[in-house]
Structure 1
């Protein structure tokens, strides 16, 4: 491979960052914190981003097109590159960055697997349980879990309707009516 091989960009690296940036914007929508009662805290914002990234990664990983899996990996890589940068900007010391990113990766991985399993179940009950556990640490405001579960299912369906060709160009929509 040689030195030049180390300098080569990963497939879909730029596209992964484009998809991730749009996903973060969707996860920062004020309605999520005001109307859907996601806590407007550092942890709540991480949970909102993790939820949206998990939905996108799930969509990409399950596409029959061979580009789906590397696109999913590129989004994941972009997320954790951003988390590393964010921690540094918040003043976290270099010696603890790796441990903190690892804990965030484990939290994301657990959440993503739980969301995926819940989305595979009919109805909202399983998804609501997972949302209550992850978003609200076991105690959701009245009606919030059902409302957020409906939104998550609509977002997941909207992502499934989007063409992989568009996603591979870095174009994703979190408009619940997206075609």
Structure 2
């Protein structure tokens, strides 16, 4: 019976951390995307300003080399030429370190940067951080940022399987306007 109380307490505390990490003021379409300055799997630093004049699919994902994250990354890999043809770049972000990103990228032949947000500051600015105290990871959220650095679309709790194709469809629609 004591174990049940302990388990329920842990679940309650976890829910509270999750709830308060998701109830911050939300980002809005059309607002400037939050800045970032992060290192990728090759040691290169990337900032939002680097993508000025291009569309950017900035996707946050929980953990390297897990089933959903692998499916999402491989979908972006497989659709990368279509995204490039539409003038878009792709960047993945998680709280994993650059070594983990390098292994993940090599294992699945990912040809786009995976940024290491080890301080969790960028995920927090994009309201894409789950903070359970000592355990932190990124939510599966994606932001389509226009060539002027503004948020054009948000995919909150994005589908790992459909995220890339949704972005392609939205890019076609946005560019036709």
TM-score (norm 2): 0.30
Name the structure with the higher helix share. 1
Name the structure with the higher strand share. 2
TM-score (norm 1): 0.30
